[in-house]
Amino acid sequence: MPEPTPPDAGMLRASTIDGVRAALSAALDAPSGLDDAERVDSITALEDLVRVATAAQAALARELDASQRAAQAGAGVPPARRGRGVAAQVGLARKESHHRGQRHLGLAKVVAAEMPLLWAAWRQGKVTEYGATLAARETACLELEDRREVDRLLASDPEALDRMNDRDIASACRRHAARLDAAAVVRRQRQATADRRVTIRPAPDAMVYLTALLPAAEGVAAYAALVKAADRARADGADDRGKGQVMADTLVSNVLGGHEANGGPRIELGLVMSDQVVFGESDEPAHVDGFGWVPAELGLEVLAGALSRGDEVWLRRLYAGPQTGELVAMDSRARRFPRALARLIRLRDQVCRTPWCGAPIRHQDHARSVADGGETTGRNGQGLCQACNHAKQAPGWEAEPSDDGVETTTPTGHRHHSRPPTLVTVRRGPPIRLEFVLAT
């Protein structure tokens, strides 16, 4: 099959892209008529096409950034603030979060400007977008001259690069970087300590992944301590838990036990469920703030467990609309969202309201700004992450509340509509959601 080449400007017209998409969709509606060898070759060709397409996206993202910066300069935006909102537009265009749009835009600018051979290989379909990301990340600490040298060593032979997997690319870049400027690599590793953190994300079956990013020495030591505790607990054969189970239980008991022993502040867990579930009239799922949906039975188990332990349980009533099932907002004349209204917006929206974002809510935002007459109401309020809220403040962005959500218009005129998720399945009359705040 012919080697893919970078598309020219004419090929990137929306009408042409729509035609290609329609042709591929039509081809999928019927058997291919290919033999097995041709099927394998076609899969390879399509994979190369995907890689070239991501390079084309990167090239267009760079052009958009340059154009938007020029427009912002013409509008009198200070140099330090130029470029704000561009990554958010890229994320929306790719149907991804602001964070991913920012990462994609940064990658497009760095690789094209500082790693030209890798950029050429990417445009030829010889490397994936993630492979290019790893190469840029592992050389970020180097001066431009050394980065160009790693680029030469890595990508001077596109065919050899095509045979490397992502791990090979990262390893090669790391090795070359350590040889060219060991001091820079050491400085970077030492500075990385400042990035230590603990994060959480949902897992299947009402579980979560609790992840800690730690310096190597502390991380290995903590893991070894958990392994030792598990081996000790299972040494006499009396404990029928698996090794992983003992390690997880030891971690939780030490963290929560130490928190209580040191008189730490109260820990709150927000559990939202229908009143019909509490009274046994419905099995509608419950929602755990910061996690997501869980079966009604698990929600009731959490509530019952807190009550049986004697934990404080606070109850709030959150009324939902009879038609949409969305939580009903409260009004206020204040510019700043009152605490109760801010909490209701966070419970209603769950995550950042920007389409495809999904980041945790950090700001309660006025869709129409107060300066433009926007009111401090649930209708005009939306939960946003910090990045999306800052992007919305760039020139050319507009947002308007409507009866069924918020419509945001970007500087290019593209419109994106968002509405809160439905928390209630409407069955009869205006349902009530009960928010239990469990304090331990």
Higher pLDDT, 418 or 114: 114
CB 196 within 8 A of CB 215: yes
Same domain, 253 and 342: no
Confidence of residue 253 (pLDDT cuts 50, 70, 90): confident
Same domain, 179 and 34: yes
Same domain, 250 and 272: no
Among 105, 30, 93, 18, CA closest to 61? 105
pLDDT digits (tens, 9 = 90+) for 365-423: 888 888 888 888 888 889 999 899 989 888 999 999 887 789 999 999 999 998 887 76
Q: In this predicted structure, what is the pLDDT of residue 347?
A: 81
Q: In this predicted structure, what is the pLDDT of residue 261?
A: 46
Higher pLDDT, 264 or 278: 278
Higher pLDDT, 9 or 256: 256
What contacts 370, CB < 8 A, 6 or more positions away? 335, 376
**Does residue 37 sit in helix, strand or coil?**
helix
Same domain, 204 and 182: no
Q: In this predicted structure, what is the pLDDT of residue 97?
A: 92
423 within a domain of the structure (yes/no):
no
**Does residue 7 sit in helix, strand or coil?**
coil
Report how far residue 103's alpha carbon sits from residue 196's, in angstroms, rounded to the nearest whole number: 20
98-114 vs 86-93: helix crossing angle, rounded to 10: 110
Tell me what the pLDDT averaged over the chain comes to: 82
Same domain, 202 and 189: no
Query: Tokens 């394998």 identify what position?
Result: 40
Same domain, 28 and 55: yes
Same domain, 319 and 343: no
Q: Is the pLDDT of residue 194 over 70?
A: yes
CB 310 within 8 A of CB 319: no
Dihedral sign from CA coordinates of 345, 351, 352, 356? negative
Same domain, 106 and 247: no
Q: In this predicted structure, what is the pLDDT of residue 439?
A: 55
pLDDT digits (tens, 9 = 90+) for 340-370: 788 888 888 888 989 888 888 888 888 888 8
Q: In this predicted structure, what is the pLDDT of residue 330?
A: 39
Q: In this predicted structure, what is the pLDDT of residue 331?
A: 40
What's the domain count of the chain?
A: 4
What contacts 58, CB < 8 A, 6 or more positions away? 104, 107, 108, 111, 112, 122, 129
| Paired strand residues for 194 | none
Of 91-100, 102-111, 112-121, 283-292, give the lowest mean pLDDT range.
283-292
Same domain, 434 and 408: no
In this prediction, residues 120-148 reach a mean pLDDT of 95
pLDDT digits (tens, 9 = 90+) for 226-250: 988 888 887 877 788 888 999 999 9
Query: Tokens 């431009």 identify what position?
Result: 144
User: Which uninterrupted H or E stretch holds 297?
Assistant: helix 296-309
Give the ranges where 192-285 is alpha helix by DSSP (H).
216-234, 243-261, 275-278
Q: Is the pLDDT of residue 435 over 50?
A: yes
378 within a domain of the structure (yes/no):
yes
347 within a domain of the structure (yes/no):
yes
Q: Which pair of structure tokens corresponds to residue 267?
A: 């820990």
Same domain, 38 and 149: yes
Higher pLDDT, 196 or 285: 196
Of 252-261, 340-349, 371-380, 431-440, give the lowest mean pLDDT range.
431-440
Q: Give the angle 47-139-53 at the CA atoms, nearest 5°.
A: 20
Of 156-160, 269-273, 385-389, give the lowest mean pLDDT range.
269-273
Q: Is the pLDDT of residue 224 over 50?
A: yes
Same domain, 231 and 286: no
Q: Is the pLDDT of residue 307 over 50?
A: yes
Dihedral sign from CA coordinates of 75, 76, 77, 83? positive
Of 63-72, 299-308, 345-354, give the lowest mean pLDDT range.
299-308
116 within a domain of the structure (yes/no):
yes
Q: In this predicted structure, what is the pLDDT of residue 319?
A: 59
Confidence of residue 1 (pLDDT cuts 50, 70, 90): very low
Report how far residue 92's alpha carbon sits from residue 81's, in angstroms, rounded to the nearest whole number: 20
What contacts 330, CB < 8 A, 6 or more positions away? 338, 340, 341, 344, 377, 378
Can you give the residue range of the structural domain that contains 338? 331-418
Q: Is the pLDDT of residue 132 over 80?
A: yes
CB 276 within 8 A of CB 282: yes
Of 261, 294, 315, the residue that ends a domain is 261
DSSP notation for 335-393: SSPPHHHHHHHHHHH-S--STTT-PPP-EEEESS-GGGT--EETTTEEEE-HHHHHHHT
Report how far residue 273's alpha carbon sits from residue 433's, in angstroms, rounded to the nearest whole number: 6
CB 410 within 8 A of CB 89: yes
Same domain, 240 and 274: no
**Does residue 35 sit in helix, strand or coil?**
coil
What contacts 155, CB < 8 A, 6 or more positions away? 115, 117, 118, 120, 121, 127, 161
389 within a domain of the structure (yes/no):
yes
Q: Is the pLDDT of residue 111 over 90?
A: yes
